Structure 1
Amino acid sequence: MKLLTARKMSKGFVYKKIVIVFIAFLIPLISMNIWVNYKGMSLTKNAILDSSLAGASFYSKQLDKEMYFIRNLQLQFLSDKDLQKLSFRGSMLENYERVALIDQVRDRLTTLLISSDYVINAGVYVSALGKTISSMKGVTNTPNEEFRLISSMMSTTPKPSFYRDGDRIFFIETENNGGTISYIEISKPKLLEALNQIATLYKESEVLLGNSNLGSIMSTAMDNQESEAISDLIDDQSVRNSINPVIKQLHGTSYFIIQNDVGSMDLSLIMYVNQREITRTLSQFITWFYTLFGIAIVIMVLYSFSLSLLIHRPLSKLVKAFHMIETDNLNIVIESKTKDEFHYLFHSFNRMAFNLKRSIEENYEQKIALQHSQLKQLQSQINPHFLYNSFFNIYMMCKVGDSENAAELSQKLGSYYQYITRSGSDEVPLYKEYRHALDYCEIQCIRFSNRIRYEYDEIPDESNTISVPRLMIQPIVENVFEHAFEDGTVEGVVYIRANCHNGVVRIIVEDNGNLLTTKDIEVLREKLAMDSKQMEKTGLINVNNRLQLKYGAESGLFVSRSQYGGLKVELVIMNKNENEEA
């Protein structure tokens, strides 16, 4: 029988161990590569974010400084001595002097207007004159449109850092208990221009100016709702208290949010950038990383397949061959198409299987011959006292005229000796072996003048198809008559029963004798359990050895205390293989 492939693969413990070791060594390298890549990407991303944070911070500080500068000029203007003189003495001054002071104030307002690109109008209301002086409108009497606008905004409480009227933004300061009101209008287009300059740091970035109370004052975004939603995030402590960019989700999109305070206006300058814009330059590295990771997986698969082809399959073939030898199939040859170490192993295995087969054949023939010899020896060891006593019993029955019992005993005795001396097969049907044991019991009961009797169960019909070695049961029954009732027991009983189930044969012989001690049973059990090659091959031990030699260690004789007080001997034949073949 040639073994070309291992149809039923072994569990592959060696193969699995090699693959696991390879993966165990490869995983740290892959893990280190993953860590280095992610660490590098993290550092690069942080560097980009730091750059954007620095740019946004720079522009927001410039804007804040510009607003502080304008407010400081406004405060200095309120302290101007010409304006103070007009405020306190305007109604008492001569007309010439009043006009001269007004012109000087207008010059100061013009200076304030040209001091910053963010200022589009600067003016002052002087209650003592009842006039407003403006760089845009000139000198006008009150009430006028500009005064009404400023007055309406000043009614806002509490006082804000700046005032709004629609899209117009004003800085308003008062002096002399409201007798002097300075106002400066800030250019919204200029503010938007500054915000757009910050937004040019990234393509997908927007900048807004606002706070949690006022919302978005102005924004570079076309979608005002988005700006309002971003401004609401200012209330989030993680955004408000963070000096670093934070990541927030808005409508399913992740944004990096950078916040800088514009203290001069009590606002926050917020730049938010789509995360994809920040990580776009890193995406190619991520693609290469996953490509390399996929290549590593492919390498592991190819390595595993190579191990399976070069090591696992030949090893599985060898394991399969050993499994077949365990089932006593020695007609096996492993073919090898390679010239590697497995070729030597396969050749050595084939040679071993051949030598093992030849050795088993030689030993088997010797063992069969030994069994025949032991059987003949057992047949020759018939107790002569049994034959003498049986003839004596027949003689006495004839003397007293009991011809019926004499005839029955003669018939049983003839049948008994015909069975044990018959040549031929060493195996007989189970029911014949059982019947022979019952004939022996019948003879012994007649010999012992009916002070001993036996009870038995009929053997099941299944026994008609089961063959067992000859003289298996009779030696057990003989042991009972020789040892259980030698004290002259009256009303001794031998119990015999048999059953067959799923190929397992059980013959149970029990007695009600009282001579056997528990220690005697233990000694007998130990003798049956030990290797008895050097022991005498007769009696119970001989039967036990023959059963185990033929049917395996699970078969044999098993002794214990009988429920009737004497010895219980259970003969077990594990005949499963033969039953399955049948």
Structure 2
Amino acid sequence: MKLQAAGKASKWFVYQKIVIVFILLLLPLISMNIWLNYKGMSVTKESILNSAAAGASFYSKQLDKEMYFIRNLQLQLLNDKDLQKLSFRGSMLEDYEEVELIDQVRDRLATLMVSSEYVVSAGVYVKDVEKTISTTTGVTNTPNKEMELISSMMAVMPKPSFYRSGDRIFLIETENNGAVWSYIEISRPKLLGALSEIAKLYPESEVLLGSREGRTILTTEPAADESTEILNHILDKPDSDQSAPETGELGGVDYFIIQNEVGSLDLSLVMYVNQNEITRPISQFITWFYTLFILAVIVMVLYSFSVNLMIHRPLSKLVKAFHMIETDNLNILIESRTKDEFHYVFNGFNRMAMKLKQSIEENYEQKIALQHSQLKQLQSQINPHFLYNSFFNVYMMCKVGDSDSAAELSQKLGSYYQYITRSGSDEVPFYTEYKHALDYCDIQGIRFSNRISYERREFADIPQGITVPRLIIQPIVENAFEHAFEDGMEEGMLYISADYREGRLRITVEDNGNLLTNEMLQRLRGKLAMDSKHVEQTGLVNVNNRLQLKYGPGSGLSVSRSVHGGLKVDLIIMIHELEEAS
């Protein structure tokens, strides 16, 4: 099978083509983009600095001056001689003189009220005469609602620059240790009107008056949440330059934000303008923008086509070839007609596929053959002494008339030899292999019933569908019977168990023999750790090599000293690794 690689013969390398095409196509786009951005930013900055910033600053200063003017009138009122006389001598004055002084104070309050359009009402409270003098309620004895309102606002600590009661705004000052209060209510509609005058600088602009502590006091924006978010944006940057415009985003819309201080009220006047309104003067560049956009689209199409032709198509052929190798199809060859880097890559791939195929044929197939030969070797290793001794045991049982034991031993021998001599699949269900090992233990238990027995532990957590290689447990059990009890010890015991956890199958065989020395244990460990080419392929070593070859690292045999005194062999199979590989 052959795959045709895209492209024609060329003396250029791929990376040279990509670099040259990229530079030639993007140079006009980059140049026009820089020029357009420069012009747009110049006009925008000029518009913001010369119009919005200057206008907002002018109106905020006018408002600040007006509030300072009102505060100065309030302080002058507190120092008025008639009010001072009324405060110090109120309780000692004659009625006529008290009325005269109150009229003088009322005249001063009326003058203060008409001095500024921002003043709604003005009033004083004189403690010594227990009266409030107001432009709205006149002269009223205390306590009264007006005094209670002012008193509740004055309880705020620390003392603010102005006081609020709902939507009403007050300027409150005291004199003579609280013996005289002066309070002026500022017109909220007039303040809002002043903010609206600033907002008229641009059609889509809004103005708010607020502070970090009191948040938004007044705003021309109908949606209060929007003005609050703008105020948070500007006031949460205490180190920012308040004289310089900032940018912010709200609801997906970009704004220019201009902040000015109104020191008389300790507030910030913030104007925010939709950037689209600011950038209207650059509408003359819209035609150039669309031209640039169309050019960018053309550039991207041409660039994409060139990359697809020179890189994507050859790589797609290479990826498809790798996918075919993943499906074990090694009869593949990529033909290259170019003389660039892909020519080297394709030839390297072809060489890799050929070497991989050869490696599988020489190594993998040899290992598979080795498994079959090792299994056949085990099947052929029928111990004649075991067979002779078993027949002799049957003979002696018949001789003494123990027909039941003779029948049981004959049945076990038949099942045993049928299992190890039959041909068929190299893998069998785990429970079949485990039963074969138990049959061997039963045979040995009958033969040496007077001195050797075995004990198995029940298990119920091993899945029924698990299969294992044939003849991997019986050699371990046979090794214990041959070597652990060859000194003729009495009460020999063999222990066999199995468990399964998280894809890990373990079969454990232990004995209580007393012939195992530390040197023997170390030699056995060394044989299990050696390469299969350098050790004899029988018994425990054979089983260990077969498991490692089939299931990979983590599987095999491990030996240690049993708690019963003899040898402990753990047979481990990593079932989950095999399932993931399949």
- Specify which structure has the bigger relative contact order, considering alpha-carbon pairs within 8 angstroms and separated by 6 or more residues: 2
- TM-score, normalised relative to structure 2: 0.47
Q: Which has the larger radius of gyration?
A: 1
- TM-score, normalised relative to structure 1: 0.47
